[in-house]
Amino acid sequence: MSFFGLDCVKKTERELERKLRANDREYNLSFKYATNAIKTSKYNVFTFLPLNLFEQFQRIANAYFLVLLVLQVIPQISSLSWFTTVVPLVLVLSVTAAKDATDDINRHRSDNQVNNRKVQVLIDRKLRSEKWMDVQVGDIIKLENNQFVTADLLLLSSSEPLNLVYIETAELDGETNLKVRQALPVTGDLGDDIEKLADFNGEVRCEPPNNRLDRFMGTLSYGGQKYPLDNEKILLRGCTLRNTDWCFGLVLFGGPETKLMQNCGKTTFKRTSIDRLMNILVLFIFGFLVFMCTILAIGNYIWEINEGSEFTVFLPREDGNTAGFSAFLTFWSYVIILNTVVPISLYVSVEIIRLGNSFYIDWDKKMYYSRNDTPAEARTTTLNEELGQIKYIFSDKTGTLTQNIMIFNKCSINGKSYGDVFDYTGQRLETSEYKDSVDFSFNPLADPRFTFYDHSLVEAVKLENPEVHAFFRLLALCHTVMAEEKKEGELSYQAQSPDEGALVTAARNFGFVFRLRTPDSISIVEMGKERSYQLLAILDFNNVRKRMSVIVRSPEGKLSLYCKGADTIIYERLHQSCSKLMDVTTEHLNKYVRSDLQEFAGEGLRTLALAYKDLDEEYFRQWRQRHHEASTALDDREGKLDQLYEEIEKDLLLLGATAIEDKLQDGVPQTIEQLSKADIKIWVLTGDKQETAENIGYSCNLLREEMNEIFIVSGNSLEDVRQELRNARTAMKPDAAENSEFLPVRILGNGVKVVMDEVVSGEYGLVINGHSLAFALERSMELEFLRTACMCKAVICCRVTPLQKAQVVELVKKYKQVVTLAIGDGANDVSMIKAAHIGVGISGQEGMQAVLSSDYSFAQFRFLQRLLLVHGRWSYLRMCKFLRYFFYKNFTFTFVHFWYAFFCGFSAQTVYDEWFITLYNLVYTALPVLGMSLFDQDVNDVWSFQHPQLYVPGQLNQYFSKNSFFKCALHSCYSSLVLFFIPYAALQDTVRDDGKDVADYQSFALLTQTCLLFAVSIQLGLEMSYWTAVNTFFVLGSLAMYFVVTFTMYSNGMFLILPSAFPFIGTARNSLNQPNVWLTILLTSTLCVLPVVTYRFLLIQMCPTINDKVMFKVRQAKATPPPPPRRARIRRTSSRRSGYAFSHAQGYGDLVTSGRFLRRPAMSLPSGFAHAGRSTTGFSPMGRSAGYSPTGRPQNTKVADVEVTSLQMFRTIADPAL
């Protein structure tokens, strides 16, 4: 680390492969690997001032005012004192610098705290306590329980059986459930023997530093042998050691090269559409400023030629000063004087407003989820007003629309369906109406919270039906769940997904209890008998395979492969003899949500197919050898393993299928209905299968039976997909053009293609699967897909990968000039969240990855309506009002100078007092406009929910646009004419009531600036819709402050102290005691606001906006209307089937097979079935009725005091006038 806080050593070549040797610092130093010191700070004591100022002056506004300051110190140009620019500029720079310094000091403290942590390092055959920053690549270090992992380590040995360690990765991925890692047996034998560890000289060759948290490839060479290394043998910096007394590790990557620091790259800077528009307007204002200065410079040139010679007697010219040179100097003088047309305080005010509106989101109790103690959080302060302009919402399904709490609901075994309950007439009953649940008392190891209502399934288990037993045996064996049994019978399961936990818990209750796993065995209790299966291989799940398999040897020596996965994937690999059973099973899956069973319309079942095959001993021996070779390959290891998996997972025999229920979150249908009324289009992007997604679409009101048609796109080729999209478009709009129609849009001089919105009669939905979506996203097809999808009210994309989610968002951003929002709760949603204009994370069951990458976060999807319809709309409305008023008051202020130039010989004399110029934006008009921008609201939150159409103007940029800006400029031009010429005419040939002259420059300046302040304050009052005590105090207080400061600065005392700075001695008391002056102020103020009042009156009467109509209703109501009774829940009929797909997460298969399991129980394993009653089941399993949740919280319980949503409180009032 250099003196200036920057790294001195820069690698000249990109590292292609890492080589290191244990306990050999000299060898490792030759590669110049990074030390373990980290540096996240930007500055130090010496670099702060120059670097911070350099960064601040990269902003156009700051650089502009620095140029003005330079111009003001040139005597020939400046007609204003330097402090008129220095004071606001220094204030802005100081505030920003203080904020940056505070942030950097905190980063320094954090860096120092981390770098100075202590860890035991093996040096010279002794363990020494060293600082983290002094640890180097190749060192062997010792970690103890609850310690943070110092660097990226290769685990060598640990205190646990089979050299396991347990780690918490919350700092990496937000997940608090423990993960397991295991050392190689060859290094595990080193134990904690310091002599053996000091003699260890293994060499590691591995991948270079990268940011892949889920992947590692390398080899360890030791004792003449090569051993493969993967992610399950690595401890990453940022993890915490848990439930492990000690472990030793070899440092592979240190400091900035660790995966944690490699993932700390800069997030894409998101800017609002108003920010982008502001940049365009500021450039236009600069151009307009130059235009005005050019006119005045030309005027000065003409005046000097025609009139200037007559004034040379008492204003002699300096030698060589011609009319042309005078015009040149005048140009720059007016650049200084008219600089307030781009006020520097604008940018400071914008940041204050955004910060304040962010606090409103954080403090909103109606977005607080008490069950999880989770408040809403605005993780950024720069995007608030964008929340009021959302047109497209892209939502994940599982965990976002649904609860991600899984309940084993139904199953199909060998062609027979289980789970439905019927009455004596054969009518199906809802489980909520049927109280007679299955009695599992025959199984002392059952989960007491599991409930199931179909007695025929447990009877089939007791009758030892071989297919039923095989079904549950598969569920008990084919998984990567970890079991922990601290006391006898007190089982708890830890699963990588709620789905697996639910399935294993179901098998447990039906008599097939997963009890323990070791690296090479799985112990289960089958109907009271303990059996141990030899675990030979796990063919793990990934996003491409969408299935997992285990290969086991039964106690009788029989080799079997058990496989479970998405039904479409399993069906492709079945033996041809299973065709009839497959048809029956598919029929059962479809029947689960058939239209005649309308009670199931809201369930959204996730299906999973189960299959098995017996293996030949000789074939498996050869396959296992090839598997070992592929797993130790450094090149294309994953590809070779996939080929082997494909080879063995074929000709499977179907056992049946499971159906797991994933219930909707509270308030989801109402929220989607409200957002749809606000003309927001919602697209659901999910990894689940088509039937599941469709079913959820119906149950949450995204798809409705009243829709004209719902189009299914499932083509298997480019042309099929193209034709299906065109057919859908033709059905919606028969006269639709063949090619897309574009709107010519130019942004900062660059032409951008924007696909036009096409109006269709009726409402339509579109469902497209992942395979077809891959074709639809190709360059030649993307516009076809976009046109068709945008004509639909709702779009559902199924079986999509995380990358496809981001591609869909990017496609809409590219061709539609709209604001997008993405919302999700899992790691598979991060790319989508980062791609959208606004990213929202749900703090749900899948960890905190989405929240960590989001701009806003909360606990429930239903809070989205409040975020958009209330906070978003208010923020956008306030920001637009602020900008309109800010430009108005500054343009008016500046244009008066322009008119005055024609009466002062274009001499660049100011029309106001210099102190007024300095304090106008900083003191006199700062707080009133901030008060309006922080507290104003057209209608309250209740009316906002009742009339979601109020949101539409934000989508259309109706509150602030280029047109609004030019109207504001014209209004300012008119006001400036009134503010200059009315006082000018009023003072001309006027005397005081005592006969003395009042028509001097200083009196005119005072009158003009007083009229200006009153006019802009009244205009502010007209802009405000919601007066509070704070607003009133700010407005009246600022006017009072003006008079206090004016009388103080124009007093005799100030003049005597510093005559040159306070020349307006006595002007205030001499002018403001005259009645004609106050009459002039009244007349001027009235004339300034009269056109505005007239225009608004005519507009409301002849062409009222949605805001005008609702505000009229509010005034008529005079009080908040009482809440109407709640609407009865409407059951919807659906003809769609449900499906299941694994979550987008790598499985634990490799970990399990190499000996990574939860802690070995201390007690022996009795069969458990000999015990009477249920006395041994006093444990606290993590799921209810197989409703497994990784958090262990109570699930699906009705809480009496759950807050009522605004939608439940107030029904939308249909108003034909709206």
Catalytic residues: 396
Look at the block and give the residue holding tokens 């609860």.
Answer: 403
**E strand intervals along 109-159:** 118-123, 126-131, 140-144, 152-158
| Residues 164, 251 contacting (CB under 8 angstroms) | no
Listed in sequence order, the residues at least 6 apart from 1101 whose beta carbon sits closer than 8 Å to its beta carbon are: none
Q: 343 in the Ramachandran plot: left (φ > 0), alpha (ψ -120 to 50) or beta?
A: beta
Between strands 491-494 and 512-518, the pairing is: unpaired
CA distances in angstroms from 1067 to 597, 628, 893, 1049, listed in the order given: 87, 96, 21, 10
CA distances in angstroms from 623 to 551, 617, 993, listed in the order given: 12, 10, 113
Counting Cβ atoms within 10 Å, is residue 1216 exposed (0-12), middle (13-18) or buried (19+)? exposed
CA diameter of the chain: 124
Tokens, residue 935: 């507290």
Between strands 390-395 and 819-824, the pairing is: parallel
| Residues 726, 784 contacting (CB under 8 angstroms) | yes
DSSP string, 154-184: EEEEESSGGGEEEEE-HHHHS--S-EEEE--
| Residues 1107, 572 contacting (CB under 8 angstroms) | no
Select from 38, 34, 8, 9 the least CA-distant residue to 208.
Answer: 34
Tokens, residue 60: 């156009």
- Beta-bridged to residue 503, according to DSSP, are none
- Rounded to whole angstroms, the Cα distance separating 613 from 623 reads 15
- Rounded to whole angstroms, the Cα distance separating 472 from 510 reads 8
Tokens, residue 156: 């060598």
- Beta-bridged to residue 574, according to DSSP, are 652
CA distances in angstroms from 1133 to 220, 528, 701, 795, 1125, listed in the order given: 60, 44, 11, 19, 24
Tokens, residue 845: 């069951």
| Residues 260, 235 contacting (CB under 8 angstroms) | no
Using DSSP's 3-state secondary structure scheme, residue 325 falls into helix
Phi, psi values for residue 843, rounded to 5°: -80, 90
Select from 197, 172, 195, 171 the least CA-distant residue to 183.
Answer: 197
Using DSSP's 3-state secondary structure scheme, residue 707 falls into coil
* CA distance from start to end of the chain: 65
Look at the chain and count its residues.
Answer: 1218
Phi, psi values for residue 710, rounded to 5°: -120, 120
| Residues 216, 172 contacting (CB under 8 angstroms) | no
Range 507-543 burial, b when 16+ CB lie within 10 A, else e: bbbbbbbbbbbbbeebbbbbbbebbbbebbbbbbbbb
CA quadruple 1028, 1031, 1033, 1038: dihedral, nearest 10: -170
Between strands 819-824 and 838-842, the pairing is: parallel
